[in-house]
Amino acid sequence: MNNQVRDNFRHCMRRLAATVCVITCQHDGMRYGITATAVTSLCFDPVSILACINSSSSLLQPLLASGKYCINLLSNQHTAVSQRFSTPLSADERFSAGEWCSNAQGVPYLADAQATLFCELDQTLPYATHHIVIGQVSDCQFSEAIAPLLYQNGAYVTSAPLTTPVAG
């Protein structure tokens, strides 16, 4: 691939707004987590979701070993949480921002997240520098207020309803 295509691709992806997520798991008594935006629903039967995780991530091997994890969709009040999980900090430092709880299986989740999806690992597919991780959703919950933290053009943004009617 030439550099021009790579540069153009980067600029194209900066125009793709994505909900900021923190993916978490627990393995051998230790909590792990990373910030991610490459997360999307996969299908409703079975209820499943996929995430793309860098192969060198501190989360990947513990997630593969435990097989259980949570995808926390952040609200627009969670910029500090996102920043902590996207920098090289210890687990204690990462989990010091936000109100973290654990479910019955020990999987950490953000209590006031926009939404939480508890997953059981179904399949993984290595691809270049990343792993595509497919999980079946075993439980999920959401906040009534819809105010996701979005990432677009290298910055945190929020969504707002359009003020003009959309032609349909």
Query: How do the pLDDT tens digits run along the chain, 168 residues long?
Result: 588 999 999 998 888 899 999 999 999 999 999 999 999 999 999 999 999 999 999 999 999 999 999 999 999 999 999 999 999 988 889 999 999 999 999 999 999 999 999 999 999 999 999 999 999 999 999 999 999 999 999 999 998 888 877 676
Element (H or E) spanning 83, and its range? helix 79-85
Element (H or E) spanning 85, and its range? helix 79-85
Walk me through the domains of the chain, giving residue ranges and CATH numbers: 19-146 (2.30.110.10)
Distance CA 134, CA 79 (A): 26
Contacts of residue 147, Cβ cutoff 8 Å, sequence gap at least 6: 75, 76, 77, 114, 158, 159
Residue whose entry in the numeric block shows the structure tokens 């933290």: 149
Contact 109, 101 (CB under 8 A): yes
The pLDDT, as a whole number, for residue 163 is: 82
CA 109 vs CA 24, 29, 92, 143: distances in Å: 7, 15, 14, 14
Distance CA 70, CA 103 (A): 10
The pLDDT, as a whole number, for residue 1 is: 59
DSSP conformation class of 8: H
9 CB-contact burial (10 Å; exposed 0-12 / middle 13-18 / buried 19+): exposed
The pLDDT, as a whole number, for residue 168 is: 66
Supply 160's token pair: 């707002």
Contacts of residue 144, Cβ cutoff 8 Å, sequence gap at least 6: none
54 CB-contact burial (10 Å; exposed 0-12 / middle 13-18 / buried 19+): middle
Contact 149, 82 (CB under 8 A): yes
